[in-house]
Structure formats: C-alpha cells, structure tokens
Structure 1
C-alpha cells in the first residue's frame, strides 16, 4: 500500500485482508490530519462496559478453574445455551475461526458473503476449497457452510428456520454449519443458540458489544465432543484472569446490555440520518452502518484528512462502513466533516 507504514503494508500484503482499527495506516495515509483520530472503522461499541476494580491477584497468578467455571456459567445464561450443548471460552473468536477447520470433514466449504474475510482465509489456509456465494440457494453440495448472522458488513439476517434448513443439509452430508453471531447481542431473536440443531457451531464475540475488544474474549457453542476438541486445541489457561473476571461480571449484567442496546439503536438511527445526504445506507447492524455512494473514495479521503477513519473495502470501492461515534464531540466532528464540500482526490491506494 503506497504511503502506508511498514505495519500497515505488511497487514495488507501478507493476507490480502483489510481490517478496521488500523490507525497506523490511517496516519500514514493522512499525516496532516488533526488529532486525536476518531476511529469509526470498527464495529465496536464506543461506550464500553464499566471496568470493575481488578484484584492484583488476577495479574500475578494463573487463571483458576473456578474463575473459568464462573465465566462459562455466565455465558451459558447470557447466550441461552441449552444444557445438552458445550461451550468453550477463548482469547477472542479469531483463534476459534482458525481452529474450526479441525472439526470439519474433507469437502468443499461455502461461505455466505460478502462477509468477514478471515473465515475464508482460515479455511483456505487449512487446505479446503472455498466458494463464496451470495445467497443460501447457491450453497449446493458444500459439506461445510459458514454464515455470519447478522452479517458484517451489510447486516443481513437469516431467520432461524432458514439456518435450521442449512444445518439439516450440512448434517445430511456429514458436514458442519458455522454461524458467527459476533453482532447478535442486540438482536437475540436472531440467535440460533437456544434451539441449537445438530452439527452446528455458533461463535459469540464479547469485545464488540461490550466495547472491550482488547480484552480478547470469545466463545464457541456446539456439541460437547466438538467443543472438547476445540478446548484441546486451545490448550490450558486459554483466557487470561482479568478477562475471566470482567467477562463473568459483564455477561451477568442484563440491565446494562438492555440499556446499551437501546442507546446504540438511537445512535444508529442518528447516524442513518447523518449519512443519508451522502449516499444510500444499504445495511448495517446495531454497531455499524454501511453506506453506498459513487463518491465513496472521495468521502473516505475527505473524512481522513479531517482525522476520521472509516472502513473501506478493496473489493467494493463504492462502499464505506461507519461505526458509531462515542460522544458529542465525535458526532460534531463527523457532522462537520460530512458537510465539507470542497472536492478532494482519493488517497493513494
């Protein structure tokens, strides 16, 4: 990437995937941008769960089995996990995505896209033939199917009935249905977990909804045997003591989740109104919105030169994803940047 620093260039060149949250690349693209940066390139709650005071012992000793059990119990209740299903905690869902190919039989993999690119990347690295399809009807005879629900970046949601049909088809072929519910916390009615069919693994992300992505915490839910294999792949003490403590407390706080969900829904509606004059809002979930505009590249540059970083897409240059501003100062800066109408050229690729 011309103009990117070494780390930003390496991230794109090595795996061909652009991620949000890469402010090093933002600074390299727009070195004169005012500080501080407003990072709207991720789908992370900008108002995090309030961190409790952490005992020093959480940092000085290995995580305990009782603390892990408390986290798992809180996650079971929060995600409404059936008693017959297993659940595994991990240091973020990304490592679980990397391990999932160990659970699947040989055979083609279909990914309902466009979606989070690390899914396809992980299966290809593991030697699977991967096809991205745009509709469930195009899945065909794939043994393994991956669905992000709600989808990132367009917010598409498949109904439980449709997911159950996909699961039945995968099971009949001896395969696996993976449902990534990273953005399902604010739409629990979309979750497949409560009536978990056979042959399904559901991923849940903690850091996005609770605004604590740096904590690195995620979960896999599925058949006990499959979850045991994932746990073996993770090894002992997979989740740090502070993450166990904070995760258990936050997941056992439904009042905070409900209040945050209502507040972020209001923020999303406010963002829709702000973006409407600049293109077409074509989708999104509770923590982000997807804008489509023929002027997307110029808008990306206009915002970047004003210290606001949004998510662009190499394979869809007419689209930009916006996260939610976290305070009134950020909302004001975004509003002012969107109103700036001086023509500007796109940044270097």
Structure 2
C-alpha cells in the first residue's frame, strides 16, 4: 500500500475538518440552510430567557454541580458518571488525549471530528468503512477484534442510520473502550437504541464489559452550537480520567444553565415532540426526493435522523447548482467512505422541502411525474 505524501495527508486533514457550517457562508449572500443539522427556529424563547438570566452571575466562577446533578438524574445515573463538556467535540479531544490506544478504529462514514482528534493526538487510526450496498448498516464482525478503541455514531452522521443497541453493545469487550456518539439520539422518538440506559447499575442488569462511553450534545435539538454544551456518560473512573484533561472551569455559566434547563422534564417533553415532528418532516422530504428517482437521485437505507444522505451521479455539480438557487446542502466527499456523488440534506419543514423539490425539478426535470402524482406532496 502506497504511503500518502505530505500534501495528500494535509489535504485529507483539511477534509476531516470540513463541517456543514462552511456550506452556508457565501460572502454575505443569504442561503437557505439545508447543510447544518441544527433544528431550525431554535433556541426557543423560554431557553433564551433562562440563558439570558444567567448573565447576571457572570462575575462568579462557573459551578457545574447543579447541571451535572440534573443531567445525571435525567439518565438515572450517578453524578460521578457525568462529565460536562464544551460540546461533544471537546469530548473527542479528551478521549484522544486521555487514552493511549494501541489500535483505535473509527467506523465510517461518520462525523469526522473523532478521527481528526485522534490523529492530532498522535494515534494511527484504522477505518472501518461500511457498505452503501446494505444501507451502511453496522456489521459488528467488521470491527477488528484487536481494536482497543472503537468510535461509532448512533444515529450516524451523515448516513442517518440508527444501529440496533444490541449490535453496539456487542462491540463492548474487556480491554476495549467503546465510544458511541449519540449527538442526534434525542431527535429519535423515544431515544430508541440508545446505550445510555445500559450504563446504570441495577440488580437485573449486568454491566457491559470493558469501558463504554456515550457522548451527548445539546446543540442540535436546542440550537446551541454557538454556546458549546454537551456531556459524557460513562463509569466514574473514566469520567474522572477525562476530567483531568480539562482546564479549570471548562464550561461557561450560560452553557451550564442551558444544560440544566434542557434536561428538565418540560424540556424533555418538548424534545420528544420535536423528534416526532422531525420524523413527519423527514417522511415528507423522502416522498419529495422520491419524485427524482428516475433522474438518478436516491436515498440509501432507512433514515432515522434529522438529515438524509442523497446519492446522484452528478451530485457535486448539483450541489453547486442548488447553491446558485440559494439552497445550501452539505457536500459528502469529506466523509471517509463517500465520494463526490453524495450530499446530505437537513430535514426542514414542509414549505422548505417543497422549495428544495422545486429547485431540483428545475435542475433535473420531472415536472410530468410530479403533476401525475400530486399525492407525493402528502407523504
């Protein structure tokens, strides 16, 4: 196997650091954002008010204990099993620095930050690339038995695949750190397939073997990407080890207020309804995209997250054409395992989806089929 040149390595490193927010920057021109997976119309007013009220206490150093207790109670865990972080992205850096894995493996295609953080910390990362032919579903046997650090997303960004919790739990073993990125799990009704419930200790529940780390983000459902707040769920020893790699006061007081607010019963109820609305809006998006199957546009698998991964032979050009019409979608070729024939679309409301469909019709054709199947808009 040929060793990549320095320029090739630099290019790949740059692609790993490419994120959806770059797609909506266009020299001041306003684009409809179908690239970033943050729920539109957020944060809600009540959350803004809670955060704004915390500004009166900025003279005091942040105290994370109340938020940590609230997060722990929300998951039925001990306070010592929770670590608050400046977004889930910080957790990837902490993991890369805290654990000197001999053979780390990252399941792709997925969010690229885990691999980037591992490489920055000096790790040689092995890629487990899933097959689009079977809908990017995880085959636990594809993960090397000798991998002592395994990172997988659930649901996975950008494929929108929700892997069964049983399959993920099967990856846990002695001598291995299993990291499951659940940044989008609260956009799944009932948070089904989450591993978080398996982290608690109970008389009828045997603990998973090895070290299991679940990462959560509050930036997607609540629109807090600019505030940076997430958390780690694991065993107390792992949480303590990761905490030693954080600076003092790593999470700001407003972010701590947001963490506490978003884990209270009222917020959990609102998040559940938002997840159900996402599912309805996603069904509409899939129905409209289905109109363009004859033009080579396809969605692989059964999307379960607030985004869908789309394939088209001319996806790179199509993405630029959509941009010229004021619609920004996320390029797919920066994700290992994908190429220029892929792009990702964030789930938005029906009106926004219909505008996307109109743009696709202008670019790809399909007016006759759409007119012949008016019920496609009702999917």
Deviation digits for residues 125-155 of structure 1, max 9, x if unmatched?
2222211113421222111111111111112
**Of the candidates 190, 195, 199, which is equivalent to residue 192 of structure 1?**
195
Correspondences of 1:190-269 after superposition (within 5 Å): 190-196=193-199, 197=208, 198-252=210-264, 253-269=267-283
- Match in the other structure for 1:20: 20
3-state SS of paired residue (1:22): helix
- Match in the other structure for 1:276: 290
Q: Which runs of 5+ in 2 are unaligned?
A: 1-9, 131-138, 200-207, 366-379
3-state SS of paired residue (1:340): helix
On the 8 A contact 2:331/2:340 being kept in 1, the answer is: yes
Q: Which runs of 5+ in 1 are unaligned?
A: 1-10, 344-349
In structure 2, relative to structure 1, the CA distance for the partners of 1:287 and 1:12 (3 Å cut) is farther
Q: Does 2:344 correspond to 1:321?
A: yes
In structure 2, relative to structure 1, the CA distance for the partners of 1:333 and 1:58 (3 Å cut) is farther
Q: Does 2:314 correspond to 1:298?
A: no
- Match in the other structure for 1:333: 355
Q: Does 2:38 correspond to 1:44?
A: yes
Distance (whole Å) between structure 2 residues aligned to residue 237 and residue 323 of structure 1: 33
On the 8 A contact 2:62/2:251 being kept in 1, the answer is: no
Q: Does 2:140 correspond to 1:136?
A: yes
- Match in the other structure for 2:170: 165
On the 8 A contact 1:85/1:221 being kept in 2, the answer is: no
CA RMSD of aligned residues (A): 2.4
3-state SS of paired residue (1:233): coil
3-state SS of paired residue (2:186): coil
Deviation at 1:299, TM superposition (A): 1.9
Deviation digits for residues 290-310 of structure 1, max 9, x if unmatched?
111113123212210011110
On the 8 A contact 2:72/2:79 being kept in 1, the answer is: no
On the 8 A contact 1:104/1:175 being kept in 2, the answer is: no
Deviation digits for residues 223-258 of structure 1, max 9, x if unmatched?
112111222222221111111112211221222112
Distance (whole Å) between structure 2 residues aligned to residue 194 and residue 276 of structure 1: 36
Distance (whole Å) between structure 2 residues aligned to residue 152 and residue 83 of structure 1: 29
Deviation at 1:312, TM superposition (A): 0.9
Give me the TM-score of the superposition, normalised by structure 2. Answer: 0.77
Give me the TM-score of the superposition, normalised by structure 1. Answer: 0.84
In structure 2, relative to structure 1, the CA distance for the partners of 1:91 and 1:327 (3 Å cut) is farther
On the 8 A contact 1:112/1:136 being kept in 2, the answer is: no
On the 8 A contact 1:21/1:42 being kept in 2, the answer is: yes
In structure 2, relative to structure 1, the CA distance for the partners of 1:281 and 1:72 (3 Å cut) is same
